[in-house]
Structure 1
Amino acid sequence: MSADRATSFGAEAANYEAGRPEYPFDAVAWMLERMPTDSRRIVDVGAGTGKLTRVLSHAPGAEVVAVDPDPAMLAALRQSVPGVPTFQGTAEQMPLPDASIDAAVLGQAWHWVEPIAASAELGRVVRSGGVLGLIWNIRDESTEWVRRLTDVMHSSPAENMVNGPESEGPRIAAPFGEVETQRWEWNRPMTRTQLHQMALSRSYLITAPADERAEITRQMDALFDELGLDGESTIDLPYVTHAFRAVRG
Structure 2
Amino acid sequence: MTSPFSSKPIHEAAQRGYTSASDNYQRGRPEYPEALTAWMSGTLGVTAGSRVVDLGAGTGKFTKLLACTGAAVTAVEPVDAMRARLSESLPGVSALAGSAEAIPLADESVDLVICAQAFHWFANAQALVEMHRVLRPGGRLGLVWNVRDESHDWVAAITEIITPYEGDAPRFYTGKWKRPFEDQTLFGPLTRTVFPHSHVGSFDQVVIDRILSVSFIAALPQAEQRSIEQRLRALRDRFPELRAETIAFPYATEAWLAERLGAA
Scaled by the length of structure 2, what TM-score is found? Answer: 0.84
Query: Quick one: which amino acid aligns to residue 117 of structure 1?
Result: Q
CA contact (8 A) 2:32 2:197 kept: no
The runs of 5 or more residues in structure 1 that have no matched partner are none
Query: Quick one: which amino acid aligns to residue 220 of structure 2?
Result: A
Residue 181 of structure 1 is matched in structure 2 by 192
Aligned-residue CA RMSD in angstroms?
2.5
Query: Quick one: which amino acid aligns to residue 200 of structure 1?
Result: L
Query: Quick one: which amino acid aligns to residue 79 of structure 1?
Result: E
Question: In 2, distance between residues paired with 1:198 and 1:141?
Answer: 15
The runs of 5 or more residues in structure 2 that have no matched partner are 1-8
1:67 to 2:79 alignment: no
Question: In 2, distance between residues paired with 1:208 and 1:170?
Answer: 28
Change (3 A) 1:226 1:37: closer
Residues 18-77 of structure 1 show CA distances to partners (whole Å, capped at 9, x for unaligned) of: 000112242254245344879510000000000110111111x41101000011111100
1:212 to 2:224 alignment: yes
1:248 to 2:248 alignment: no
Of 112, 117, 139, which residue of structure 2 is paired with 1:108? 117
CA contact (8 A) 1:188 1:238 kept: yes
Residue 87 of structure 2 is matched in structure 1 by 78
Of 38, 42, 54, which residue of structure 1 is paired with 2:64? 54
Residue 137 of structure 2 is matched in structure 1 by 128
Query: Quick one: which amino acid aligns to residue 177 of structure 1?
Result: G
Question: In 1, distance between residues paired with 2:81 and 2:202?
Answer: 26
Change (3 A) 1:2 1:38: closer
1:43 to 2:49 alignment: no
CA contact (8 A) 1:44 1:106 kept: yes
Residue 199 of structure 1 is matched in structure 2 by 211
Aligned residues: 244
CA contact (8 A) 1:36 1:129 kept: no
CA contact (8 A) 1:161 1:170 kept: no
Query: Quick one: which amino acid aligns to residue 44 of structure 1?
Result: D
Report the CA distance between 1:3 and its aligned residue.
1.3
Report the CA distance between 1:210 and its aligned residue.
2.9
Report the CA distance between 1:2 and its aligned residue.
7.9
Question: In 2, distance between residues paired with 1:118 and 1:160?
Answer: 15
Q: Specify the SS of the correspondent of 2:21.
A: helix
The sequence identity of aligned pairs, in percent, is 37
Written as runs of structure 1 = structure 2, the 5 A alignment for 1:163-182 is 163-164=173-174, 167=175, 170-171=178-179, 172=181, 173-182=184-193
Query: Quick one: which amino acid aligns to residue 95 of structure 2?
Result: T
With 21-30 and 68-77 compared, the bigger mean Cα shift is at 21-30
Change (3 A) 1:64 1:143: same
Question: In 1, distance between residues paired with 2:110 and 2:188?
Answer: 17
Report the CA distance between 1:200 and its aligned residue.
1.2
Question: In 1, distance between residues paired with 2:26 and 2:46?
Answer: 31
